[in-house]
Structures are given as structure tokens and as C-alpha cells.
Amino acid sequence: MVTEGVAWRLLAFGDPREVVRQERLRYDDPPAGEVLVRVRAAGAGYPDAMMAAGAFPLLGEPPFGLGEEVCGDVVAVGADAPFTVGERIMGITAFLRGWGGYAEYAYVRAGSAVAAPAGFTDEQAAGFPIAYRTAYAGLVERAALRPGEHLVVLGAAGSSGVAAIQLGKALGATVTAVAGSPEKLAFCRSIGADHAVSRHSTDLTKELLAATGGKGADVVYDVVGGDTAAAAAKALGRGGRLAIVGFASGAPVTLDPVDMLLRNYSAVGVLADAHSREGEAVVWARLAELAGQGALTTPVGKVRSFDQVPTMIAEQTNPPAGKIVVRVA
């Protein structure tokens, strides 16, 4: 099968409103391990802004496509891909080889995809894969969050934070959300956070210790970095774990090794997609199960139209609460 479609591509590093442009592309049959989908909706996130700025470590020089995750209908199936034509799926695109999801068609990695839950809208499905797969990597695979533990989520109102709140609750943890405005704090409570603390607090460490009853957090899920993450790390209890997911503040967290030793806490890096094909299948099956049960829901913040992609990417440096999604078809 060969088809053509319009896609948004980054032509050079810079302001996405100036360097992200539409191009008409030819789509051949998908390679082994991938499927080609007709995109219904695509999820947006901070990595889009990083890519436009040349700050995303996994990609080289433009031009390349943007958009890491989609919901769409399968139109062609590569070898070893367990899907059939016509299925509505949600999954991670082949953006690492230059083919993104802000497009009429997208290649999707079959090992990082699953049938979209019947109860999910296209927008919910499109916004699910990256945030929830990353949250699973951070909370289950790396930090080993256990029932009854206390989880602190930084950047809690963004898509990654929302996923961590919901997954943390599904795993039986008490969750404290850290966000930057009263509206975002209220949003975090509305999706399940037990406590909500402003990142602008004059003493964030003290506030977090109070939220944990003075015991300290067991896990901090850090997508922010910088001073906020450093303050949260000081609120970890003995044996606590700092899961480093990203640095939306623009700077990674700086830690004191002596303090880590004396308080016996650890810091782990989090990168999803580090499994074998069989391992990934287990993870996606579990995520789909939780989504089907209603424990994971992708609270959608705003839905943008396809022609708004460049502006939407520029907004990712300070997005509104919830998941931002682009409606394609």
C-alpha cells in the first residue's frame, strides 16, 4: 500500500510558529514491527517544545516529524505486528526515525501500542501512551512504589504528572501533588490527589513533610528538576526514591551525595521503552487493563485543531492543566 498525506514537520530549530510547516508525504508499507494508521487525534507534550528547540537528546538534526503519540485506525500492517486493518489503536509513533503523529497518517510501533479502550474518546486515547507508559516505568519498574506508600508528584497538573497521580492511586499510594497555581492544585485534587501543595511555597520541603505526617515521602516523581526537585528530595524519608523523569524547569536536579548517604535515599533515571518485546507486551496489557477499569482516564485539558499545531507546540512550555490533544480527523 502506498498513500499520501499532510504532516507537520520541523524544518529547523527555532520558534515552532516559524519553523514547523506542513508537507505532503508519501507513506509506503510499514516496516516490520510497525503499523500505519489513519490518525484521528494526536497527543501533545513538553518534548515537542524540546524538539523544536534542539534540546531533545534522542533526535538529530531536522527536518523530521513531530508528535509522539496518536489514536488512529490501522490501514496497513507490517510483519510481526499483532493488529488488523480497521482496528482503532493508541500508541507511540515512529518519531525516533523522523515520522511523527501530527499528520493525516502515522507509523506506530506495534510493540508500544494497544487497542484503544471502547470507553475512551479519540482524544483520551491519543493522550494516553507516552504519559502513562512513562509513569509505569517510573513508579513500577524503577521506583517500585508499593501500596500504602506516600508519593509526591512534581509538575502534577501536566500530562506526565496527571498520569503519575492516577497510576499512584491505582497502586494504592497516598498522593501529594505539587503544582503552580490554585487552579492547577484544584485540578489535581479533582483527579485523585490526596494533598496539593504549591510549588511557590516559601518552604516546599516543610510543606511536603507536613503532608506526609512528618515521615517523609517514599517516592518523588520528578518531571520538573531544578530547585523544586531539590526541595522535594529533602522531603524524602529514609529509604526513599527520587524518580528523575525530566526537567521541565530547564535544569536537572542537583543532589548532595552526602545527604543521600546519610538519609539512605536513592535517585533513579526513568526512560520508558527499555523492555524486550515480550516485556513491553506485559506492560501495555496491564495499562490497558487499568484503563478499561476506569483507573486511568487521560483527563483532557484542551483540544486543538490540526491547523493550530505550531502554536500548540509553542504553548507546551507553560501548558494548561490536563492533556493537550490535536484533533486530526
Classify strands 174-179 and 195-198 as parallel, antiparallel or unpaired: parallel
pLDDT of residue 163: 98
Half-sphere exposure (CA, 13 Å, Cβ side) for 70?
Answer: 32
| Owner of C-alpha cell 516505568 | 137
Q: Does 99 have pLDDT greater than 80?
A: yes
Question: What is the DSSP secondary structure assignment for residue 214, as one 8-state letter?
Answer: T
Q: Are 151 and 236 in contact (CB under 8 A)?
A: no
Q: Which CATH class for the 3-128+298-327 domain?
A: alpha beta
Does residue 97 carry a pLDDT above 70? Answer: yes
Per-residue confidence (pLDDT) for residue 231, from 0 to 100: 98
Cell numbers describing residue 82: 499483532
Mean pLDDT calculated for residue range 210-224: 98
The per-residue pLDDT of the chain, averaged, comes to: 95
pLDDT bucket at 85, cuts 50 / 70 / 90 = very high
303: its cell numbers: 483540544
Residue 276 banded pLDDT, cuts 50, 70, 90:
confident
User: What pLDDT sits at residue 34?
Assistant: 98
Single-letter amino acid, residue 140: V
Question: For residue 249, is pLDDT > 70?
Answer: yes
328/125 Cα distance (integer angstroms): 13
Percent of the chain with pLDDT over 90: 90
- Considering the domain 132-269 in this protein, what is its CATH number? 3.40.50.720
Q: What pLDDT is recorded for position 319? A: 83
Q: Sort 170 into a burial class: Cβ within 10 Å, 0-12 / 13-18 / 19+.
A: middle
In whole angstroms, give the CA distance from residue 14 to residue 120: 35
At 31-69, the pLDDT tens digits run 999 999 999 999 999 899 999 999 988 888 999 999 999
**317: which 3 cell numbers?**
512550555
pLDDT (0 to 100) of residue 313: 95
**pLDDT given for residue 278 in this prediction:** 78
Element (H, E) at 279: helix 277-292
Residue spans per domain, the chain: 3-128+298-327, 132-269
**Predicted model pTM:** 0.94
Q: Is the pLDDT of residue 274 over 70?
A: no
- Mean pLDDT in residue range 289-303: 95
Domains 3-128+298-327 and 132-269 fall in the same CATH topology: no
Helix axes 159-170, 129-136, angle to 10 degrees: 50
Express each pLDDT in 147-203 by its tens digit: 999 999 999 999 999 999 999 999 999 999 999 999 999 999 999 999 999 999 999
Contacts (Cβ under 8 Å, ≥6 apart) of 54: 13
In this model, does residue 89 exceed pLDDT 80?
yes
Q: Are 65 and 98 in contact (CB under 8 A)?
A: yes
